[in-house]
Chain A
Amino acid sequence: MKPLVFCRKIVQLVPIALFIIVVGCRPVREAPKALPETKTLEILAVNDMHAAMDNFPRFAFMVDSLRAIYPNMLLVSAGDNQTGNPVNDQYHEKGMPMISLMNAVKFDISAVGNHEFDSKPQGFAKNTQKATFSFVATNTVLPEGGAYRIKPYAVIRAKNGVRVAFVSLLNINEGGIPDCHPDNVKEFSFRDPYVVAKETLYLADSSQVFVFLNHMGFEEDVALANQLPAGSADLIIGGHSHTRVDKEQLHNGVLITQAERKLKFATLIKLTLKDNQVETKSMQLLTVGKNGKERPDIRAMVNQFGNNPQLKETIAEATADFTSYEEVGFLMVDGIRAASGAEIALANPGGVRIDHLDKGSVSVMDVYTMDPFGNEMVFFKLTGHELKALHLAAFTIDDSSAIYPSGIKTKYLLTETVALADVQFFTNDGKPLEMDKTYTVVMNNYMASVYRYEHKDNGQGLFRTTAEGIIDYLKNLKKIPDYRGEKRVELIKKGQ
């Protein structure tokens, strides 16, 4: 071989030799390291639905559409599913229509809001048993041996395996109970939600996402987030204050959401997890409302509940015609007094919407026609002098009309120009009322907020509507007496 040809061959072989050396000297190839696993979780959250059944067919359609896009999505309610619609509230099994609808759209979990207790202990227990989703209440101590199907917390595994811990805190008012009728919660006791919150943080060890599904109010949720150790909770889905959170609210690293009320909106929450840790979180407020495509089977259910003949059934018989606002007002205020257990009940003249009621059958719908406002009863302790101050203040606000009383009679003394000079009070048997004595008095929340007069007790809401009180009264009464000629209020103009 010629030396030149030999050299050329060597030069050509060098890269091949280098390649063999480099590749040959590399250590045995390891299996590739697993990339950090990324998962997503979506939660669709509503709160304070308050039996807005008319929006359910649309809502169900939206839920189905979102589930098609996000198959791992959880559907949750932050409580107060109940109360606010006679179709649901006057159903023979109070609250069951809402439970049936929530079952039909496959809710995963619900908080216990203060209005869940409105179905009274037996009804509430039944509602929890019929629900195919979990009820969760963490600072509520259930009665021993009670029939409630309520968990103190829940860990739900989404379809993609993500474990989500749900803890639920309920707002407790200054009286130590939630905002509901005290009789409905006498079996229960309630613990400080902020103390209980800290006791539950261990659940983070057995879950990848930690959620407070609260019914406390937005400001209380912010206070909670700020008290928690940083990074201990991922999300607070709230209710109670009917707050419309339409932009991201991050407090101490916790995303807080709330979707106003009555299924007007729902919040779509999106989380991404990397190595079992929540890495990103975002929310979007979606409009639900009534308009748009609906799920036909849910529409059929809603229509069926709406055609409930019980709403038109006779609950009492009127023994005579009612022919004036005054007569109807006296009936209403008698009902409110009986339902509240107060000594005296008062109704404002503008609160009575019909001036006649035919003799014969009276139905639930008749009551909602005479008292359609959804006003609630408020309980006061007032002296005779405070009662007088109330009547004097009310006369101008009520366009110079008298308040309808039950338990007392009143005499309005008017000046020649029909201004109110004085009001005198009498017991039902005509004796002057003891003005220094304190009386239990019930009135509606409108009167409680607009009459400006001196009084020590600011009152306490009973969390029951005046209409519900009247319905219960009439159901017990069965035969309504003749109110024709009933005189409880006398207006005397000076000079008469």
Chain B
Amino acid sequence: MQNQYLANNLLTMRIRINRTDLELFGGATVADALRRYYVLHKKKFPEIFPAVTDRHGNYVAPDGSLSEGNQLYLKTKK
């Protein structure tokens, strides 16, 4: 059942952090997105999980679920 379902449903989730578009596995969380963001930008992942907000300025927790088209904002040091 599981393999059959997954064979027919190749899912990709597209989200955005700041101005970076990310393609992630279906079911990815904020933490997964953030890890991908740091890899893409070739930056070391910080020891303390950085604060991330949504487009309305609300804080979102690292284990928060994401949906297609979500936009997140991360304050990065220049």
Contact = CB atoms under 8 A, between A and B. Distances in A.
Interface residues of B, number: 42
A416 interface: no
B76 interface: no
B35 A450 contact: yes
Interface residues on A, range: 35 or more
Contacts of B50: none
Contacts of B7: 381
A118 interface: no
Nearest to A343: B3
Interface in A351-408: 376, 378-381
A50 to B, nearest CB: 8
B65 interface: yes
B26 A459 contact: yes
Contact of B5 (A175, A260, A452): A175
B2 A183 contact: yes
B64 A261 contact: yes
B56 A249 contact: yes
Interface string A211-239: 00000111110100000000000000000
Interface string A440-477: 10000110111010000111111100000000000000
Nearest to A80: B65
B21 interface: no
B53 to A, nearest CB: 9
A37 interface: no
A173 B25 CA distance: 12
Interface-central residue, A216, A342, A460, by most chain B CB under 10 Å: A460
A445 B65 contact: no
B54 A261 contact: no
A452 B28 contact: no
Given A175-B9, A175-B11, A242 B32 contact: no
B12 interface: yes
Interface string B1-36: 111011101111100000000011111111111011
A243 interface: yes
A448 B25 CA distance: 8
Given A449-B32, A463-B27, A340 B2 contact: yes
Contacts of B11: 173-175, 458, 460
Given A243-B58, A260-B61, A452-B39, A220 B67 contact: yes
Contact of A218 (B29, B56, B68): B56
A461 B25 contact: yes
Given A219-B54, A381-B7, A449-B35, A242 B60 contact: yes
18 contacts: A114-B65, A173-B11, A174-B13, A181-B2, A183-B2, A218-B54, A218-B58, A220-B67, A243-B54, A244-B58, A261-B63, A380-B25, A445-B32, A446-B35, A449-B24, A458-B23, A458-B25, A462-B27
* Top-8 shortest CB links A-B: A461-B27, A242-B64, A459-B25, A242-B61, A449-B32, A458-B12, A449-B35, A175-B9
